[in-house]
Chains A and B, each alone.
Chain A
Amino acid sequence: MIDVLYFAWLRERIGAPKERVETNAETVADLVTELAAKSDAHALAFSDMKSVRVAVDQELTDLDASLKDAREVAFFPPMTGG
């Protein structure tokens, strides 16, 4: 089981800040493919991966990252702090 978190407009498009998913995805990219197939809202949220960033267990990473031992994966738009 992996906790998938969404922030900002990804959270709004998905309609939830968090969901628990049962997955055998090996990489973030595989997980995105699985998630995008869940609903129209998911498909829309993941339709433009250029504007989606990802963190695995709270570390910024990329789509090729392995999900081995991962507990938490977060998807969000490019950050706008400061």
Chain B
Amino acid sequence: MTTRVQSQPFDMGAEVQAFTKTATGAGAIVTFSGLVRDEGGTLTEMEIEHYPGMTEKALEAIRAEAVTRWSLTDALVIHRFGQLKPGEQIMMVATASRHRSDAFQAAEFLMDYLKSRAPFWKKELGADGQTWVDAKDTDEDALKRW
């Protein structure tokens, strides 16, 4: 039962191994990780800003909601901030449940909510300068299915 907000990289393999080891009672584990896209070579760096204090609260609330709704045996959320290079992992979620459908759905729910309800803001830096990534209407629409 963990959420972590950190600037340093994480080792997804080690995280999943540790998560699996303590997933008592689970029959299924789903993991997802999001990477910085290189946007066809035009992106040199991604800068992720966040709201210390609120970020931790929001992640914990989203995680707790997923655990309750899908009766998860466990859920893990890790999200990074700071300067990231193309190909680096931005975040990961892992969900554990008795049967796979709950773990899959909960992971999708976590992703949809992290996208537009966790206080992170991405800025893309490239040869052409810097731009804040705009939230998409589809991100907001994605919340409606839950």
Residues of B within 8 A of A55 (CB): 51, 54, 119
B115 touches A5 (CB 8 A): no
Residues 54-82 of chain A, each 1 if its beta carbon lies under 8 Å from chain B, else 0: 01001110000000000000101111111
Task: Check B121–A58 contact: CB distance below 8 A.
Answer: no
Contact A77 B121 (CB under 8 A): yes
CB < 8 Å neighbour of A79 from B34, B90, B91, B118: B118
Please state if B111 and A79 are interface contacts (CB–CB under 8 Å).
no
B132 close to A76 (CB less than 8 A) = no
Q: Is the CB of B118 within 8 A of A81?
A: yes
Interface residue SS majority, chain B: mixed
Contact indicator A79/B116 (Cβ below 8 Å): yes
Query: Size band of the A side of the interface?
Result: 10 to 19
Q: Which of A8, A11, A58, A78 is in CB contact (< 8 Å) with B54? A: A58
Contact assessment for B54 and A81 in the assembled complex, using a CB-CB cutoff below 8 Å: no
**A5 to chain B: which residues have CB within 8 Å?**
51
For B135, give its contact among A7, A74, A77 (CB under 8 Å): A77
| With A5-B51, A58-B51, A82-B34: A76-B119 Cβ-Cβ less than 8 Å | yes
Contact (Cβ within 8 A) A79 B54: no
* Inter-subunit contact B34/A78 (CB<8 Å): no
Q: Which of B98-141 contact A (CB under 8 A)?
A: 111, 114-123, 132-135, 139-140
Min Cβ gap B47→A in Å is: 10
Cβ contacts under 8 Å, A11 to chain B:
49
CB distance from B128 to the nearest CB of A (A): 17
6 A-B residue pairs with CB within 8 Å: A7-B49, A8-B121, A55-B54, A79-B118, A79-B120, A82-B34
A binding-site residues for B, Cβ under 8 Å: 5, 7-9, 11, 55, 58-60, 74, 76-82
Please give the residue numbers on chain B whose beta carbons come within 8 Å of chain A beta carbons, in ascending order: 34, 49, 51, 53-54, 57-58, 79, 90-91, 111, 114-123, 132-135, 139-140
Q: A55-B54, A78-B135 are in contact. List 13 more A-B contacts (CB 8 A).
A: A8-B123, A58-B53, A58-B57, A74-B54, A76-B121, A77-B121, A78-B116, A79-B115, A79-B119, A80-B133, A80-B134, A80-B135, A81-B91
